[in-house]
Amino acid sequence: MTPVPPSPSSSGATSARPASPDLAVLRAQLEAAGCFERKPGRAILELTLNLLGSALAFYAAREVAQAWALWAAAPLFVLGSFLFYRNGWLMHDAAHGGSCAGIQANRRFAALTAGVLGEFPSGWRYGHNRHHARTNVRGEDLDQRERWDPTRRYHSRLTAWLGLFLFTRYNGVYLPATLIFMALRDGYYCFRHHRERFAAELVAVLMGLGGQLAFFVLLAGPWGGLLLFLLHTHVGMLYLNSAFAGNHYDLETFTPEEAKTLDVVSLQSRTTRNYAGGWWTHFVFGGLEKQLEHHLFPHLPRHHLHRAAPYVRAFVTAHGLPYHEAPFWHCYLRVLDFHVDPRPAAAPSA
């Protein structure tokens, strides 16, 4: 993560705050607590279980559909896509350097998991690192562009949900949201910024997407398999859109000039929110519900974010900074409300 240059001044209407926090102090605490210990064996086991679990769920969905009804098979199909796309957390960890001990080992595991998913790891890393370095900085946060699009405002929570999570807007046209579009975006980033890796990653992407398509064709035939594959990528996009929707959208935003007045801890604590919850939250979001911990230390292994949370909370609050945390559904509804057009009430007639 590229730090934002510190400055004694603050942006906007925020009052004077304590001196810039020394992130090295917090890092030393986390190292002493063992939070940076990497477990590559755990990552390999998780990848194996995700693939086996998703394949079994898809097979069971086919059997239920044939023996009973399509609607009864739908939950099993969604479960299969959910388990499969949890491999995205593994790619995310390795791309940040949080899975294995060495840089090259992390890159190889990131390439493996990205290939399984049909994703360009170099292109994804480029856009995602910009998000980390410039979180909620208008025009520079590549993961949050749509929040500043004035055309993406809706009249109700329902239409906001449809427009934000089930569809994507491109040149004024709404298209079904699918992870294929993300692969195209990251392929562009890879070609533009890491062209030396583009050919190899393109081959891996085609193999990964081709393997997924072939699996569904074996389950349901050519046309049925193609439809299931597209639905699968649609469920995956819905999962990812929902997973990260409440972490940043409705929190503070800054212009590039304002962001220059903030140190890295202040920027991240003011623009990032965690999800509160128990075991189900941890399972669904894979540990990344602790977004502030992840944003302050992107290379901190995901399975240690919960252990790091008490240290981070104490650190930011001691420096007078916010520690945003709320239940997932509360955050989700706030995102929908953020995109509902706040039209003023009509003036009463005379």
Which amino acid is located at 28 in the chain?
A
Q: What is the pLDDT of residue 20?
A: 63
Neighbours of 55 (CB within 10 A): 15
Q: Is the dihedral of CA 180, 185, 187, 188 positive or negative?
A: positive
Structure tokens at 133: 């370095």
| pLDDT single digits (tens) 21-55 | 889 999 999 999 999 999 999 999 999 999 999 99
Secondary structure of 23-72 in HEC code, one letter for each residue: HHHHHHHHHHCCCCCCCHHHHHHHHHHHHHHHHHHHHHHHHHHHHCCHHH
Q: What is the pLDDT of residue 146?
A: 66
Q: What is the pLDDT of residue 119?
A: 97
| pLDDT single digits (tens) 123-170 | 999 999 999 999 999 889 977 666 677 777 888 999 999 988 888 877
Which amino acid is located at 258 in the chain?
E
Least confident among 61-75, 182-196, 240-254: 240-254
- Dist CA 345 CA 80 (whole Å): 45
| Position 14 pLDDT exceeds 60 | no
φ/ψ of residue 135, rounded to 5? -60, 125
Buried b (16+ CB within 10 A) or exposed e, 212-234: bbebbbebbeeeebeebbebbbb
| pLDDT single digits (tens) 262-304 | 999 999 999 999 999 888 999 999 999 999 999 999 999 999 9
Q: What is the pLDDT of residue 7?
A: 33
| Position 203 pLDDT exceeds 50 | yes
The mean predicted confidence, pLDDT, of the chain is 89
